[in-house]
Amino acid sequence: MEIIVFSFFSALGFLLVLCRILGFKRVMKWRKVLDVITTFGLPVLLIGTFSGMMTAFFTGLWFTGLTWLLNLATKTTTLPFSYEGSQYNKDNADSYCSPRS
C-alpha cells in the first residue's frame, strides 16, 4: 500500500516539475510521449530492486492517469506530430502536396 501512495506523490512531483520547466500547454501537447517515457523509462532506470521497479511502474500509471484527468479538465487538444517535409496540406485535407510546393 505504501508503494502506491509513494508512487502517487512521485508522479505528482514529476508532473509539477515538468509543468514548471516546459509549461502546462507543452506538457499537455506532449502528454502521450511523456506518458510512455515515464511508464517504460522509469522501471528501466530503477531496475535494481523489485520495490524500485514496482514504484516506478505505478508512478508511470499515476502519471498517465493525472495527465488524462488534466486533459479532460482543461479540454486541451493534442496535436499530431509535425515534422519537416510534412506532406499534409492543411488547406485541402484530401489532396497531396509535395514539401516544395
> What are the pLDDT digits (tens) for 89-99?
555 555 555 55
> What are the pLDDT digits (tens) for 45-88?
878 888 888 888 899 899 999 999 988 888 755 555 555 555 55
Q: Which of 44, 1, 2, 37 has the alpha carbon at shortest distance from 18?
A: 37
Q: Report domain extents, the chain.
A: 2-74
Reported pTM: 0.68
3-state SS assignment for residue 52: helix
C-alpha cell read off for 4: 502506491
